[in-house]
Amino acid sequence: MLQTSWLFWAILSAIFAALTAILTKLGVSNINSDFATFIRTCVILVMVGGIAFFTKQFQSLDTISTKGLVFLVLSGLATGASWLCYFRAMSYGQASQVAPVDKLSVVMVAVFGVMFLSENLSSVNWMGVALITLGVILVAWQS
């Protein structure tokens, strides 16, 4: 039951994202950030390709709608741009500054979800979005 819980997977995602920040900062200390992103991408490609292969989850591209494929390609481009910017920021800034600002994506997802996906947020949800924004500012602010 735990393996089908969105919360379980979201918490694991947060843990791995935190590890990503620390490991990235350690990894970009003496390498070009774009090349570091390339190495990371190759590792992910092999890892996810291996998982899909060994679990027999590959499927023919013709089973994916054109619309779905376009959005997946655009998502991949956005991910690549995000990673390039993230690695560049890590090469210049402290992990304790860069990672919280990167998490403004949580706020942006909430806003974009309302704008583009017709999702509804309650006033309590909007308060949470505001608090996340304030938290990002407070954690990233270095005096």
Share of the chain above pLDDT 70, in %: 99
Tell me the mean pLDDT in the region 24-29. Answer: 90
Q: How far apart are CA 77 and CA 83, in angstroms?
A: 10
98 contacts: CB under 8 Å, gap ≥ 6: 21, 25, 86, 89, 90
Nearest Cα residue to 89 out of 77, 75, 101: 101
pLDDT at residue 90 is higher than 80: yes
Prediction pTM value: 0.82
Q: What is residue 5's predicted lDDT score, i.e. its pLDDT?
A: 85
Q: What is residue 143's predicted lDDT score, i.e. its pLDDT?
A: 52
Token digits of residue 56: 């027999």
Contact 52, 58 (CB under 8 A): yes
Radius of gyration (C-alpha) of the chain in whole angstroms: 18
CB atoms inside a 10 Å sphere around CB 97: 16
Tell me the mean pLDDT in the region 87-101. Answer: 91
Tell me the mean pLDDT in the region 26-46. Answer: 93
